[in-house]
Structure 1
Amino acid sequence: NSMLGVTPVCLFDSKNADAAFYNVLYSFSYPNDFTHGFGGFLTGLSIAAVVIYFVTSSDSGSLVVDFLASNGNLDHHWVQRIFWSATEGAVATALLRAGGSDALKAVQAASIIAGLPFTLFLVYMLQSIVVMCQTADEAP
């Protein structure tokens, strides 16, 4: 009902998921601006949630890379973790800038190509864990 400021779902852009998401948030504003209603608040909340998600994900990834680079040593220097964070950010930025309009596809392809050999290693480790569990039952 346009009298209540509710936008019909059929008007949302079906080809651009990002625009459709923000159109849904915009539909909570009445009358069609961000000064009234919850549209502006929901937009700000969603942007804050995305920023928090990316920061915590990057921090977790940097922590894992830092542990691997220090051979599992828990007493590593904080500068090393900042180095890995900056390096990961620089690589992601370079891939996004080099990708042009298909930047996200370039980053996704690089992730899949880099992760495929590791998947084979994980399958090998799974077999090793099964053998270890079988021999652990036999040991006194």
Structure 2
Amino acid sequence: MTSDAVYLFTYGTLMHGFSNPFAERLHTLSTFTGKGSFPGTLYKIDWYPGAVYEAENQYRIYGEVYKITVPEILFPELDEYEDVFEDVKKSLYLRKIIPVLMDDGSVLNCYTYLYNQDVRNLEIIRSGDFRQINL
């Protein structure tokens, strides 16, 4: 894999098996690379999850990695879906690059949408796998 490739880690409604126009768009404009995980806490926000990256956390968040073929087209669309705004404080999520441990043992630096609001009083998804509560 080339070092200049752009990858996206998804852990919620953008994964395979979820039916929405943004997931369909992602799957059309990217290549599925594999499954992976990163350390952190996964919360149930509503009908969708929110992840907080915590490098030292013993719990992991599980999802899928996609190689993005046209980031200049896809990321603005996904940013809109994820309520990413210029005003960081108002953004529901922030798109950040984090290290993702792939199932094959390799590590890829991937963009992911990390939850950017107060997590107090939110239900923690202990398994780290949103599919286990939603599909």
- Shorter-chain TM-score bucket reads under 0.3
- Tell me the TM-score normalised to structure 1 length: 0.18
More helix as a share of residues: 1
Q: Which has the higher contact order (CA 8 A, sep 6+)?
A: 2
Give TM-score, length-normalised by structure 2. Answer: 0.19
